[in-house]
């Protein structure tokens, strides 16, 4: 039996969430199943210790959770949207109470810095607050009918069960991006979290249960199944789930999209990024440097919005390259729960191998290593998951540069001439999530934001590529999947749209002036 980690106050934190040495991996919100699947050890990349274990859900468990979700939907959809919003408001309050322990658990289980762990929980709070206001604004449209005595309007209804497949790098926030909106829309949710971060999922389910029980929310509105890719395959092929929201690699997203599309369901995809910052001659170095460094090394380079490429104008190339190369030795890599450290570990040793392989491929293709990479060894690095943030001078056409590596590797390249040349380089990758330009030129910033500019779902001026706010719709184009989550009108994907026409006369005129008489 795995031993619960006792250092760093983790034992006390786990007890707050009812997490034991070995846990069950399926829940309907009100009931935990005695799951009998393969045991999953949650190994912290911070120190390599097993935190606790989860017995994964089986196909039988999955079926029971989905059935209960379907039953719950029949009742939950009848609640008024403001009543559902009140439940989500209380969830935000509860998350505020648990912000520190949940943020610490996120940091310890996933490896991101404690500050970023707290920030992730704050994202959950923010999206709940957003959803509460939204619960009174699920607007449709009215329009004039061409037929006299007729009224037309559009309204939105809940879809039903929303399947959520989330990734390890944001183990709690992305789940809540989906659930907060889905719940106020009247949907119910079944969540398959990453098996690399199962304990944060258990914690979220327990927090939600406290609120839902107090409000007598139907059991099944918040379902959870923990396990491997087989559960994601079941979910993607399940015709009872009209919407599957999946966050992860492009490879995974293509498989989900194909399965969901084959049954004419809807998929909401948030996939890979290959994000660039364009640095123009007028850029302010005081802004550029922290934006580029945080974008490249934050969360150990394991964000879908991490900065992968810097495209620098030749006039300022040497100046900026010198500045960032000199900045990297100041980065402190170590235990992410120590707030003096900037960078924590990668999620596991497989990620370390991909990092090392990417550096070797970059060298083989002709890349010039400006800041050496490598794996840290010795005291404090026993997990083997701590790597050195690296900088490589490269060409955008290199095969390795065209692919996303979830690690702190930053590729630097030069452009000459107009900003349009830089934009062309930026856009010349398969992914299209986040992008940024550093400039004090109005013309350059507007060119970047024009329809002929950045082809990404997110385009920023004088800020980095990562750190999106929940108020705007989040997502990207091309191999990023085309999905939109979080703010703006992203709520519409969680609802089905219906057009209504009402005839309040004693006759039956037909559209387009068609005559049909008996």
C-alpha distances in angstroms, 500 versus 150, 483, 491, 504? 10, 27, 20, 13
Q: Locate all alpha helices (DSSP H) within 78-218, ordered by sequence.
A: 81-97, 99-110, 114-134, 173-185, 198-214
- How far apart are alpha carbons 464 and 435 in whole angstroms? 8
pLDDT of residue 517: 84
For Cα atoms 231, 219, 174, give the angle at the middle one, nearest 5 degrees: 50
Q: pLDDT digit string (tens) for 341-368?
A: 999 999 999 999 999 999 999 999 999 9
- Spans of the chain, pLDDT less than 50: 1-6
Q: Of 40, 27, 34, nearest to 69 (Cα)? A: 27
Which H/E stretch holds residue 357? helix 349-364
Question: Rounded to 5 degrees, what are φ and ψ at 129?
Answer: -60, -40
Contact call for residues 306 and 275 (beta carbons, < 8 A): yes
Q: How many residues does the chain have?
A: 518
Q: CA dihedral in degrees (199, 200, 206, 207; nearest 10)?
A: 160
Look up the pTM and report it. 0.96
- How far apart are alpha carbons 237 and 315 in whole angstroms? 53
Average pLDDT over the chain reads 96
Q: Of 471, 468, 506, nearest to 488 (Cα)? A: 471
- How far apart are alpha carbons 274 and 436 in whole angstroms? 12
- How far apart are alpha carbons 419 and 461 in whole angstroms? 13
Ramachandran area for residue 323 (φ above 0: left; ψ -120 to 50: alpha; else beta): alpha
Enumerate the active-site residues. 270, 304
Question: Rounded to 5 degrees, what are φ and ψ at 196?
Answer: -85, -10
């Amino acid at each position: 039996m795995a031993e619960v980690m006792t250092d760093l106050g983790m034992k006390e934190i786990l007890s707050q969430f009812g997490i034991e040495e070995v846990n069950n991996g399926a829940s309907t919100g009100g009931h935990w199943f005695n799951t009998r699947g393969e045991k999953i050890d949650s190994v912290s990349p911070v120190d390599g210790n097993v935190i606790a274990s989860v017995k994964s859900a089986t196909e039988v468990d999955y079926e029971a959770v989905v059935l209960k979700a379907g039953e719950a939907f029949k009742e939950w959809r009848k609640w008024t949207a403001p009543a559902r919003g009140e439940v989500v408001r209380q969830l935000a309050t509860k998350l505020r109470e648990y912000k520190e322990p949940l943020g610490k658990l996120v940091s310890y289980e996933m490896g991101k810095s404690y500050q970023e762990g707290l920030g992730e929980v704050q994202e959950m709070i923010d999206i709940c607050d957003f959803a509460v206001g939204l619960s009174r604004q699920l607007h449709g449209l009215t329009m004039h009918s061409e037929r006299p005595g007729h009224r037309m309007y559009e309204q939105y209804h809940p879809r039903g069960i929303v399947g959520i497949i989330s990734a390890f790098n944001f183990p709690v926030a992305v789940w809540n991006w989906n659930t907060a909106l889905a719940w106020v829309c009247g949907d119910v949710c079944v969540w398959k979290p990453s098996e690399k971060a199962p304990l944060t999922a258990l914690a979220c389910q327990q927090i939600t249960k406290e609120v839902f029980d107090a409000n007598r929310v139907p059991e099944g509105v918040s379902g959870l199944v923990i396990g491997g890719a087989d559960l994601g395959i079941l979910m993607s092929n399940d015709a009872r789930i009209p919407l599957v929201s999946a966050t992860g690699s492009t490879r995974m997203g293509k498989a989900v999209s194909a399965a969901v599309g084959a049954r004419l369901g809807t998929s909401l995809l948030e996939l890979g990024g290959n994000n660039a910052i364009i640095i123009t001659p007028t850029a302010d170095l005081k802004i550029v440097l922290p934006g580029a460094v945080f974008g490249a090394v934050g969360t150990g380079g394991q964000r879908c919005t991490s900065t992968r490429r810097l495209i620098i104008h030749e006039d300022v190339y040497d100046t900026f390259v010198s500045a960032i190369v000199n900045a990297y030795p100041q980065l402190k890599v170590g235990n992410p729960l120590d707030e003096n450290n900037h960078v924590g570990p990668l999620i596991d040793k497989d990620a370390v191998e991909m990092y090392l392989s990417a550096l070797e491929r970059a060298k083989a293709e002709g890349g010039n290593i400006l800041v050496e990479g490598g794996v840290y060894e010795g005291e404090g690095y026993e997990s083997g998951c701590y790597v050195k943030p690296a900088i490589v001078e490269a060409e955008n056409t290199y095969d390795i540069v065209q692919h996303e590596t979830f690690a702190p590797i930053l590729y630097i390249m030069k452009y000459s001439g107009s900003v349009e040349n830089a934009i062309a380089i930026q856009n010349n990758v398969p992914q299209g999530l986040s992008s940024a330009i550093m400039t004090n030129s109005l013309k350059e910033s507007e060119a970047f934001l024009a329809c002929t500019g950045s082809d990404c779902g997110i385009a920023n001026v004088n800020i980095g590529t990562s750190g999106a706010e929940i108020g705007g719709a989040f997502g990207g184009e091309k191999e990023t999947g085309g999905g939109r989550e979080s703010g703006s009108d992203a709520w519409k994907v969680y609802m089905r749209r219906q057009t209504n026409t009402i005839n309040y006369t004693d006759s039956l005129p037909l559209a387009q002036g068609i005559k049909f008489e008996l």
